[in-house]
Amino acid sequence: MSLVNIEEPNKNQTISKCLGIDFGTTNSVCSMKLDDKVIFIEDSNKKTLIPTALLFKKEIVVGNDIDFKKNIQDCVFSIKRNFVENPDKKMILSNNLEMSPVEISKEFFLYLKKMTKNYLKEDLSDCVLTVPAYFDERARSGIMRSALMAGFNVRRLINEPTAAAFAYGLDEKKRGSFLVYDLGGGTFDVSLLKLKDKLFKVVGTSGDANLGGDDFDNLILEELILKDLKIKKEDIADNNLKVLLKEAKLIKEKSQETKNFTASLIINGEKKEINVNSFKIDEILEELVEKTISITSELLNDCEAEINEIDGFILVGGSTRVKLITKKLEEKFRKKIFNELDPDHVVSHGASLHGFELLNGSDNLLLDVTPLSLGIETMGGLMEKIIPRNSNIPIVKEQVFTTNENGQTSIKISVLQGEREISKNNTFLGELILSNLEPKPAGIPRVRVRFSLDADGILFVSAIDESTGNEQNSVIKTGIDLSVEEMKKIVESSIENAKEDMDTRSLIESKIKATRLINEVNNAKIEIQNLCSKKDIEKIYNITNMLNNELKKNNKVEIDNLVEDLNEITKSFAEKIVNKNFKNFVGKDIDILEQK
């Protein structure tokens, strides 16, 4: 037998680089692990803390490139907060531009990508992106879509406190049970983690997706500035309010260092002065800080953990610089408090460490949970939980549904997220419609629905009609836009095969546009059958098929051409739909028409 030479594995393998992106409410940070250390990406102003702010002028100006003194009233700030309400709801910007939070943030991610390229002299697409642990499915997938649209290949979405704990565990060698208290500009997260050798396990997580430093600033504006000057909030112009909020933030920051000082501000064109006392500031902020403390206590209860099992607190997020927080935590829990790693940079730091391990392999295991229960609406408007909060992810649960009327051929299921019993008090994620069931007596059809939360915490739903075996993959969509799954495919395929000099970004845009159009055509199948000529129907499906094939390749010109062809041929059909809708109105009272 001859000796076989076996090379040491990984020896000559090149190291894959992966960006860690902390997309924050106030500031964002990008970093990357390189040769055993984490480097933070600097912008052209040599700053690593990038204000999450955009200015839509002739060109889009972002971050530290904005002249805030001149333009503050026209800037878009804290866009991350808008993801909580609805990531796809259009907002009107100062120059009458209409954009959704997803679209605005896409521009921000494009800036981060360019900034990274300038700094590293290398185009990086792979990234680990962080999100607040307490963000729901909609907000989470919305942020992910923004990054994907900007051409980032999001290899994993991780929770901000988890990322911070990972950095503390790996680089500060922390071991034991810790509560990560993460107060950012817009969100509060608290997570209980166990850090062991090679194991980083989230036991439970809680928080408030609408509580952060911005709310502190708002309270200082209302309870200190406006009260002192006896001015009503509604008497101040929106632009002025934006400036005043920034002043309130400065007052908050200064009061952490200085006991008494005078601040001067301009309100409605008049110069005013107010006296600030740090005790007064603490008094104003106390209520919000107490709220975070009680959320923390509740989390301990939920996890059935006693405070004496906890080794300490890890402070994360710029807003933890408010000293009242440390004071209150010490008073209430009497535990050590750690903040060795910069609270503004630690989340990105942890994300880049995790990104490196994902792409290059590691013995470390990071286990996270889902922050909110997932369920469906049952009769009577109640929510039935299917996946309880703090379940380890990934998780898959199945439930069988049936009809309640004879001959019913479809079932509609509302998917919800939250902890409340009444379904309308929870977040409505979307509807799942199971159609094409064979008409049968009530209660006979059996449709098995599978809810699956992947390791990114993103939800996928699929359904199988048990009698026919028909499978429907029903990704719950937040609106008209593509799902995370569809977008991920587009980005992966575009980057995978892209030639060095090719503009991946515009290719991705073309592909997104094409996929949207195909989805529209698929959704309108019945209308097309009814309204178009046989010749047109054939043409529409031919082009759709060709387009589907092209999407697997990377020929932007070909994709654009086919999209144009498809648009052209469906244009007449769109007109027909309008006509048909109009016909539906004919003969009805004008009142009814107006109500519609």
Partner 1 sequence: MRPNQTCWYCQKRTEVINFQCQTCNKIQKIKEANPYDIFDTEKTFILNFDDLEEKFLKLQSIFHPDKFVNADSNQKQISIAESAKINNAYNVLMNNVDRLKVLLDFYGFKQDDKEGKSFKDPDLLEEIMDLQSKCMSIEHENEKQKIKNEIKLQIGSLENEIEKNIKEKVFSKAQDLSIKLSYLEKIRKDLK
Q: Does 175 bind partner 1 (CB under 8 A)?
A: no
* Residue 429 to residue 376: CA distance in whole angstroms: 10
CB of 191 to partner 1, least distance (A): 18
Q: Does 394 bind partner 1 (CB under 8 A)?
A: yes
Indicate the pairing of strand 312-316 with strand 176-183: parallel
- Among 252, 259, 263, 314, CA closest to 288: 252
Contacts to partner 1 from residues 35-64, by CB under 8 A: none
**Tokens encoding 454:** 């992947």
Q: Does 389 bind partner 1 (CB under 8 A)?
A: no
Q: Which of 241, 305, 337, 359 binds partner 1 (CB under 8 A)?
A: 359
Residue 323, Cα to own-chain centre: how many angstroms?
Answer: 29
Q: Which of 8, 238, 363, 589 binds partner 1 (CB under 8 A)?
A: 363
Q: Does 305 bind partner 1 (CB under 8 A)?
A: no
DSSP letter string, 489-519? HHHHHHHHH--TTS-HHHHHHHHHHHHHHHH
Give how many residues touch partner 1 by CB under 8 A.
24
Q: Does 365 bind partner 1 (CB under 8 A)?
A: yes
DSSP letter string, 113-170? HHHHHHHHTS---EEEEEE-TT--HHHHHHHHHHHHHTT-EEEEEEEHHHHHHHHHHH
Q: Does 392 bind partner 1 (CB under 8 A)?
A: yes
Amino acid in the structure at residue 591: D
Q: Does 475 bind partner 1 (CB under 8 A)?
A: no
Q: Which of 97, 237, 307, 396 binds partner 1 (CB under 8 A)?
A: 396
Q: Does 97 bind partner 1 (CB under 8 A)?
A: no
- For 397, the 3-state DSSP assignment is strand
Contacts to partner 1 from residues 196-225, by CB under 8 A: 198-199
Q: Which of 39, 263, 274, 358 binds partner 1 (CB under 8 A)?
A: 358
CB of 140 to partner 1, least distance (A): 16
Q: Does 328 bind partner 1 (CB under 8 A)?
A: no
Q: Do residues 102 and 145 make contact, with C-beta atoms less than 8 angstroms apart?
A: yes
The dihedral over CA atoms of 97, 103, 108, 111, expressed in degrees to the nearest 10, equals: -90
Stretch in the footprint of partner 1 (CB under 8 A) among 27-35, 247-255, 362-370, 472-480: 362-370
Q: Which is nearer to partner 1, 114 or 397 (CB)?
A: 397
Binding mask 438-467 toward partner 1 (x if CB under 8 A, else -) reads --------------x-xx------------
396 bridge partner residues: 452
130 bridge partner residues: 22, 158
Stretch in the footprint of partner 1 (CB under 8 A) among 41-49, 143-151, 358-366, 425-433: 358-366
Q: Which is nearer to partner 1, 120 or 367 (CB)?
A: 367
Burial class (CB in 10 A: 0-12, 13-18, 19+), 440: middle
Contact residues toward partner 1 (CB under 8 A) are 155-156, 198-199, 298, 301, 357-359, 361, 363, 365-367, 391-397, 452, 454-455
